[in-house]
Amino acid sequence: MRAVVRWHDGIARDAEREVAEETAIALTYGGSTQAVMMATPRDLEDFAIGFSLTEGIVTAASEIEHIAVVETELGLDIQMRLASPRSVAFVSRRRAMAGPVGCGLCGIESLAEAMRPLPALAPDSRRVKADVIANALRRLPKAQVLNRATRAVHGAAFATPAGVLTLREDVGRHNALDKLVGALARSGIDPAGGFIMVTSRLSVEMVQKAAIAGAPVIVAVSAPTALAIRSAEVAGMTLVAVAREDGFEVVTHPGRIDFTRLDASAEDGQFDVA
């Protein structure tokens, strides 16, 4: 908690505010640091697995044999050991990347790495009802416990038509998404069975991470960039943007969204947060 002077309606009062922690976190593989991110120091195993997956360092969580979080004077070091032959492949492609909170691509050594080709998402007969997305958006603010307390963090959530909601929060939008991807991988949840929601702008690295995770639908409260749209179009991903509980815009591949109305009894389905 932080002591503050709160001015409201012309009156100043002593008050307290809960603040979000921001810590330098290194992601280290076999003794070699791959990235240093400014992030919220919670759900770190989810973060380690999600980052490893979305950055293409591993293709499955099982390829990480060991994870240890080591506290140092300067921050936290998430030390991972990769299984062979993945560890050999990592050494051959090792690159250094340092990213402040606002950047998911900082320090990448080549344009080819920044514009890596995305896996094509398979066409799917499953569709998401617009009302299901609206219901999930309605419940999202309540599910963001840390943001309700601090007003300083982003959220990334996964919802299914059945109403299950998994959410992770972080000061960095791409860190929150990495944590979510890691949480889904650890739980054995297929992202193709629902949709991802993010409380941030939809930039290209968010599309890249979601596509690599296998998510066919991503919903953002803000608007996408032109590059994000082009990348999603090629990958076959559905982008839902400027999303509120009373409406949104489907920017790419609208065939995955079902605009027929839910039964009134289904609209109030419970979303349990994990």
Enumerate the active-site residues.
103
Q: Token pair of 74, please?
A: 């300067």
As a whole number of angstroms, the distance between CA 7 and CA 72 comes to: 38
- Which pLDDT score, from 0 to 100, does residue 61 have? 96
- Its pTM stands at 0.88
- Which pLDDT score, from 0 to 100, does residue 169 have? 97
Half-sphere exposure of 155 (CA within 13 A, CB side): 25
> Domain residues for 206?
128-273
Task: Note whether residue 4 is domain-resident.
Answer: no
Domain identity same for 231 and 145: yes
End of a domain among 114, 138, 168?
114
Report residue 96's pLDDT band, with 50, 70 and 90 as the boundaries: very low
* Burial (CB count within 10 angstroms: exposed 0-12, middle 13-18, buried 19+), residue 187: exposed
How would you classify residue 126: left for phi > 0, otherwise alpha for psi between -120 and 50, otherwise beta? beta
Q: Token pair of 262, please?
A: 């839910």
Higher pLDDT, 172 or 264: 172
Bridge partners, residue 164, by sequence:
272
Structural domains counted in the chain: 2
Q: What percent of the chain has pLDDT over 70?
A: 88
C-alpha closest to that of 167 among 175, 177, 157, 176? 157
